[in-house]
Chain A
Amino acid sequence: MLDLSRVDVHRGDIQVLWSVSLAAQEGKITALLGSNGAGKTTLLNAVTGLLRASRGSILLKGRPIESRPVHKIVEMGVSMVPEGRRLFPEMTVHENLELGAFARKARRRRQETMDLIFGTFPVLQGRRSQMAGTLSGGEQQMLTIARALMSRPKLLLLDELSWGLSPVATQAIFKTIKEINGTMGLTILMVEQNVSMTLETADYGYILENGRIVGEGRAGALLESEQVKNAYLGIGDL
């Protein structure tokens, strides 16, 4: 579904990503793990076009997207839940969802998609006409996911879903993600600091350190690997 090969990204004069190659398989959940400042968000922003890759190629279903404008990439089926939620706080839940279906094709199926989404997130239906800024943290995170699904994406990018959530709420959100992946057959690329919970949800994982991919493997295998245990879980043999 998504293929990055040898991608470099700069923010201003500083190079953040160094020759990153990564693939997200169709229908699977791929996780990108790494500590703060490793370049995870930068990588997602390069996929959506908010940042430009200075070298390398990014293919969506075999078609290059690295030089297309953001709104075109969204129309092609990429949707992102940005870090820190980034809802439109002074608009209602309903309006936030409508904006999620802004792309022309999604707009036609708006009602149908919204009914489907209210099935997955019944809480949101009850709060339709409430301002998004007045929702609780967990509800806001549900709304960002729902909003991202309104465009009927093929590829869903999730940036730090656990941001600002309690462990219980995080667990609930991750369960929902697994369900969406199953029922909609959606390809998901998720970026997380919460390593153990993410690897239990994902199928495949990559480890990003200082802008370079330093490890990859099936999620189960990564969870068992010494590298991950030592660096992220704090349970390795020292």
Chain B
Amino acid sequence: MPQVIIYGIITGAFYGLTSIGLSLVFGVMKHLNIAHGSLLMIGGFVAYWAFDRFHVDPFVSIPLVIGVLFVLGAALYKGVFCRLDALPEGHKINNSMLVGFGLTWIIDNLAILFWTSDVRAITPAYMGSVVELMPGMRVPLVGAGTVGLALLVIFSLHLILTKTYFGKAVRATAQDRDAGNLMGINVERTYLTFFALSASLAGIAGVVAAVNYSVHPTVGFEWLLKAIVILVLAGVGKIGRVFAAGLALGIAEAISVYFTGPAYREVVGLVLFILVLLYRSK
């Protein structure tokens, strides 16, 4: 059983990484970016090609992934999402979902065109290695890396949002856009940077997905569903709660697999999702 919990924590850390960018953009900018999953997929492919062609370790290629996705995210915001910013909140959420679905189609099919729909995985030499914490409690090395990475991301995001002027500008405009503007904040540029940052976060999750699982052109949408379940579990905009919800989902899934087998893995998440919706609506 402790072993099951460990796997749950690793999965949960990954889920947290998957959801954090989606959740932050939704909380601050009210864009529900369905294309977040496709950005994740691209992050996975960047790491895959870096590993396959140049033998770069996936964890080492993360800065490159962050850079590529940052640029791509900025382009998507400038080209598409910023046009929705003038809409009132409800319309913005609906329209960003539609736009995101469209982008998912385009990006995923371009990926099939360029990279074929083969399923690929990054398999570094230390892939199968495990560390034995206690007799009977083994932690795969890759899993430990995933959890470490998640902690690093939480910590960095927390620092950015609470200590830097950029982070304060983000929080201020999330609370009151016009008032933030009146402080001299260039809201458009702040949003652009923030959206690009969230794309980078999707990229990081993509690398982790490619190492722990696999990557193929339509993998993004599968992880996006998890990310949305977590978004609902966690509520909006709090980093700690997103990761807590990720862990809860990861552990709940692991336990259910232990008792009922992998066939019902997805059911647990969706049942939680429905329970939260029922409970919250009261």
Contact = CB atoms under 8 A, between A and B. Distances in A.
B171 interface: yes
Secondary structure call for the B interface: helix
B186 A69 contact: yes
A75 B184 contact: yes
A8 to B, nearest CB: 22
Given A86-B176, A89-B175, A91-B175, A71 B168 contact: no
Interface in A73-104: 74-75, 79-80, 82, 86-91, 95, 98-100, 102-103
A70 interface: yes
Interface string B170-181: 011001101111
Nearest to B169: A102
B171 A100 contact: no
Interface string A93-135: 0010011101100110000000000000000000000000000
Contact of A90 (B175, B181, B182): B175
A187 interface: no
Interface in B175-223: 175-176, 178-187
B258 interface: no
Contacts of A100: 183
B264 interface: no
B155 interface: no
Contacts, number: 61
A50 B175 contact: no
Interface residues of A, number: 26
Interface residues of B, number: 17
A132 B226 CA distance: 36
A95 B176 CA distance: 14
Given A91-B171, A95-B168, A102 B184 contact: yes
B105 interface: no
A198 interface: no
Contact of A99 (B178, B180, B187): B180
A189 B214 CA distance: 62
A151 B183 contact: yes
Contacts of B176: 86, 88
Interface centre among B172, B179, B180, B184 (most CB of A within 10 A): B184
Interface string A147-181: 10001000000000000000000000000000000
B136 to A, nearest CB: 45
Contacts of B185: 71, 99, 102
A99 B181 contact: no
Contacts of A106: 184
A103 B180 CA distance: 11
Contacts of A82: 178-179, 182
A147 B82 CA distance: 29
Nearest to B175: A88
10 contacts: A48-B182, A50-B178, A50-B181, A74-B182, A75-B184, A80-B182, A87-B179, A91-B168, A91-B175, A103-B183
